[in-house]
Amino acid sequence: MYEQLYQQSINDRDGFWAEAAAAVHWYQKWDRVLDDSNPPFYRWFAGGLVNSCYNALDWHVANGRAHQPALIYDSPVTGSVKTYTYQQLLDEVARFAGALAAQGVQKGDRVIIYMPMVPETAVAMLACARIGAIHSVVFGGFAANELATRIDDAQPKLILSASCGIEVARVIPYKPLLDKAIELAHHQPAHCIILQRPQEKAEMVHGRDLDWAELMTTAQPVDCVPVAATDPLYILYTSGTTGIPKGVVRDNGGHLVALKWSMKNVYDADPGDVFWAASDMGWAVGHSYIVYGPLFHGCTTILYEGKPVGTPDPGAFWRVISQHNVKILFTAPTAFRAIKREDPNGNYIRQYNLDNFRYLFLAGERCDPDTLLWAQNQLGVPVIDHWWQTETGWPMGANCVGLGMLPVKPGSCTKPVPGYDVQVLDYAGHLVAAGDIGSIVVKLPMPPGCLPTLWNNDQRYVDSYLSEYPGYYLTADAGFKDEDGYLFIMSRTDDIINVAGHRLSTGGMEEVLSGHPDVAECAVVGVSDELKGEIPVGFVVLKAGVLRDPDIIVQELIQRVREQIGPVASFKVAAVVDRLPKTRSGKILRGTIKKIADGNEYRMPATIDDPLILGEISDTLAKLGYPKGSGD
């Protein structure tokens, strides 16, 4: 069925998506499936009126799922499990939407959500959707500075936050970060609504901060507000090639149709099934497959506040799967590398009954074949590597098991998902031969669900994604298709690295290092890491005349990245060097440094300014514990 549907999605695009759109609730049907009157800006289901929250909750309550669990909050870090039926979740959301409306939040207003993995985060997202407000969730591992940048870009009316997050056994107070961010930002929200968690009591700012629980005691439930299919549902900021993040916009209608379609066809999930995306609601995976996708489809979603290891042991995932009858687990390969490292023989796996577990989906970074095969052997279920980006919001390449499973090729995310015309081009924009590496692009228009633009920045959208190959969306991934049409995603073509499945910009880190008063210039490269896939390693050249202890400067730099970007950057290794390898035109040879660090063969670049510098870099990396490249 895959081939047939794929061809239909490309050759009869409108017919294909019109059929998919029939599975969701519309207040008013669309005029056009795809409005392509203003390329390269495309709009799906123009003229349609819809509400994402209605489709996630009210529709199911009205159609027999009121008493089915909608969301199971499983939190080993607080020792609690709490189940919300569709009816209970709807009641919470409708009341919280009422609380937001009482604060003056209206359709089109932005609301920033800076919260940990608690049910209230999902409630907040759905409540915004209910009244047509645009949410922007900011991942809790980001520092105040990153939050401030997002506040200034999104200009939220309200910010929702909590007193703390919990990282294994550490309580991380969120409120000081929020206060600092508001202090740094130019834009000031009218109010903050703070969820006080028992583990930490936040100091409230009189007149600005409101108590979540208190507001809920008097809040009146409100109904869904119909919005245009093309209205934004949310903004999700993601790393760009500079320190300024990109505000990926998601619309309501296209997103709803695409996610609903993906649940059965990509993931083989049926209504009533238990679906678990072990990610964070601050990432695209969390938006799409903790909150919206499973609820649109009438599944039970798991919201897990814990880690794959250490909460309390590497059996944590198997405990959750068996306790809640999970059919489908979706996580990042790094989680499996962490489990494999602590339980190489899978002893913990055998302690649990995993009879209902059917599929493991992995995404977020390249899945090394070793990890994939280990998981497959240990679990005895298909392990599906699939490929997507924050920008697309749902997979571009996958083994669509709902359409009949194709043979798995380790190292490949299988084939383009219906709707995505994925091609591999050379520098000049020509298709490359099977097996040859090139730039991976998607022919426009992108299918529903993908970003229609960047928040308040159409030009950056065009410049970042649509200019390099006119008529195509640039994924910024490089890779190839083999003779069978299987896609292999090998690396990024820009400065983005994936650290434990978290997307980060090395350029952004370089901006932070350059801000240190002793640093003249610097380079940050992503170096292979057994657990996290990649980690950033920094090289700095000090200003002439700086005589301070380099070890102290390195510690300051590490602290600086932690404070300005956040702990999630995992920036823990840096070195002071005399000079950086460059081309004669002054371009730093980051790719060559990476190859040396990874122990890969590298060619001496013909344009290198001074070949001896590579030897120095090699020695520095050896001192940091990295293998030397062989050179030539």
Interface residue list for ligand AMP (CB under 6 A) = 238, 284, 363-367, 385-390, 413, 475, 477, 489, 492, 498, 503
From 48, 245, 501, 629, residue interacting with ligand COA (rule: CB under 6 A): 501
Question: In this structure, are residues 374 and 367 in contact, taking their beta carbons and an 8 Å threshold?
Answer: no
* Residues in 262-321 that interact with ligand COA by CB under 6 A: 278-280, 283, 285, 307-309
Q: Which does 136 bind (CB under 5 to 8 A by kind): ligand AMP, ligand COA, none?
A: none
Question: In this structure, are residues 137 and 236 in contact, taking their beta carbons and an 8 Å threshold?
Answer: yes
Nearer to ligand AMP, 34 or 363 (CB): 363
Q: Which does 503 bind (CB under 5 to 8 A by kind): ligand AMP, ligand COA, none?
A: ligand AMP
As measured in angstroms, the least distance from the Cβ of 327 to ligand AMP is 21
Q: Which does 570 bind (CB under 5 to 8 A by kind): ligand AMP, ligand COA, none?
A: ligand COA
Q: Compute the chain's Rg from CA coordinates.
A: 24
With helix as H, strand as E and coil as C, how does 456-475 read? CCHHHHHHHHHCCCCCEEEE
Please list, residue by residue across 78-103, b when 16 or more beta carbons sit within 10 angstroms of its beta carbon and e when fewer do: eeeeeebbbbbbbebbbbbbbbbbeb
x/- site string to ligand COA, residues 512 to 541, per CB under 6 A?
--------------------x---------
What is the Cα–Cα distance from 207 to 191, expressed in whole angstroms?
8
Element (DSSP H or E) covering residue 588: none
As measured in angstroms, the least distance from the Cβ of 174 to ligand COA is 8
What is the Cα–Cα distance from 292 to 255, expressed in whole angstroms?
9
As measured in angstroms, the least distance from the Cβ of 285 to ligand COA is 4
Nearer to ligand COA, 99 or 309 (CB): 309
Question: In this structure, are residues 447 and 258 in contact, taking their beta carbons and an 8 Å threshold?
Answer: yes
> Residue 159: beta bridge partners?
112, 192
Our measurement of the distance from residue 148's CA atom to the centroid of its chain's CA atoms, rounded to an integer in Å, reads 19
Q: Which does 280 bind (CB under 5 to 8 A by kind): ligand AMP, ligand COA, none?
A: ligand COA
What is the Cα–Cα distance from 226 to 246, expressed in whole angstroms?
27
Please list, residue by residue across 395-413, b when 16 or more beta carbons sit within 10 angstroms of its beta carbon and e when fewer do: bbbbbbbbbeebebbebbb
As measured in angstroms, the least distance from the Cβ of 366 to ligand AMP is 4
As measured in angstroms, the least distance from the Cβ of 284 to ligand AMP is 5
The four Cα atoms 41, 46, 52, 57 give a dihedral, to 10 degrees, of -150
CB under 6 A: which stretch of 73-81, 329-337, 370-378, 612-620 binds ligand COA?
329-337
Nearer to ligand AMP, 331 or 618 (CB): 331
**Which amino acid type is present at position 107?**
K
Q: Per rule CB under 6 A, is residue 393 in the interface with ligand COA? A: no
Of 443, 45, 364, nearest to 233 by C-alpha is 45
Residue with tokens 């190839």: 480
Q: Per rule CB under 6 A, is residue 573 in the interface with ligand COA? A: no
Nearer to ligand AMP, 9 or 389 (CB): 389
> Residue 526: beta bridge partners?
536
Q: Which does 238 bind (CB under 5 to 8 A by kind): ligand AMP, ligand COA, none?
A: ligand AMP
As measured in angstroms, the least distance from the Cβ of 411 to ligand AMP is 9
Phi first, then psi: what are they for 381, rounded to 5°?
-125, 160
Nearer to ligand COA, 129 or 278 (CB): 278
Work out whether the CA dihedral 476, 477, 483, 485 comes out positive or negative. negative
Q: What is the token pair recorded at 187?
A: 């834009």
From 334, 453, 475, 505, residue interacting with ligand COA (rule: CB under 6 A): 334
DSSP string, 514-576: HTSTTEEEEEEEEEEETTTEEEEEEEEEEPTT--S-HHHHHHHHHHHHHHHT-GGG---EEEE
Work out whether the CA dihedral 292, 494, 465, 136 comes out positive or negative. positive
* Residues in 542-571 that interact with ligand COA by CB under 6 A: 567-568, 570
Nearer to ligand COA, 48 or 294 (CB): 294
CB under 6 A: which stretch of 72-80, 194-202, 496-504, 546-554 binds ligand COA?
496-504
Q: Which does 378 bind (CB under 5 to 8 A by kind): ligand COA, ligand AMP, none?
A: none
Nearer to ligand AMP, 26 or 142 (CB): 142
The four Cα atoms 116, 476, 504, 598 give a dihedral, to 10 degrees, of 130
What is the Cα–Cα distance from 100 to 121, expressed in whole angstroms?
14
Q: Which does 386 bind (CB under 5 to 8 A by kind): ligand AMP, ligand COA, none?
A: ligand AMP
Q: Which does 498 bind (CB under 5 to 8 A by kind): ligand AMP, ligand COA, none?
A: ligand AMP
* Residues in 155-214 that interact with ligand COA by CB under 6 A: 165, 167, 172
Nearer to ligand AMP, 284 or 553 (CB): 284
Q: What is the token pair recorded at 399?
A: 């083994």
CB under 6 A: which stretch of 37-45, 334-342, 422-430, 593-601 binds ligand COA?
334-342
Give the binding-site size for ligand COA (rule: CB under 6 A): 27
Q: Which does 311 bind (CB under 5 to 8 A by kind): ligand AMP, ligand COA, none?
A: none
From 40, 48, 140, 397, residue interacting with ligand COA (rule: CB under 6 A): 140
Q: Which does 365 bind (CB under 5 to 8 A by kind): ligand COA, ligand AMP, none?
A: ligand AMP
Residue with tokens 């008493």: 67
Q: Which does 338 bind (CB under 5 to 8 A by kind): ligand COA, ligand AMP, none?
A: ligand COA
3 C-beta neighbours (distance < 10 Å), count: 13
Q: Give the footprint of ligand COA on this chain (CB under 6 A).
A: 140-141, 165, 167, 172, 278-280, 283, 285, 307-309, 331-332, 334-335, 338, 364, 499-502, 532, 567-568, 570
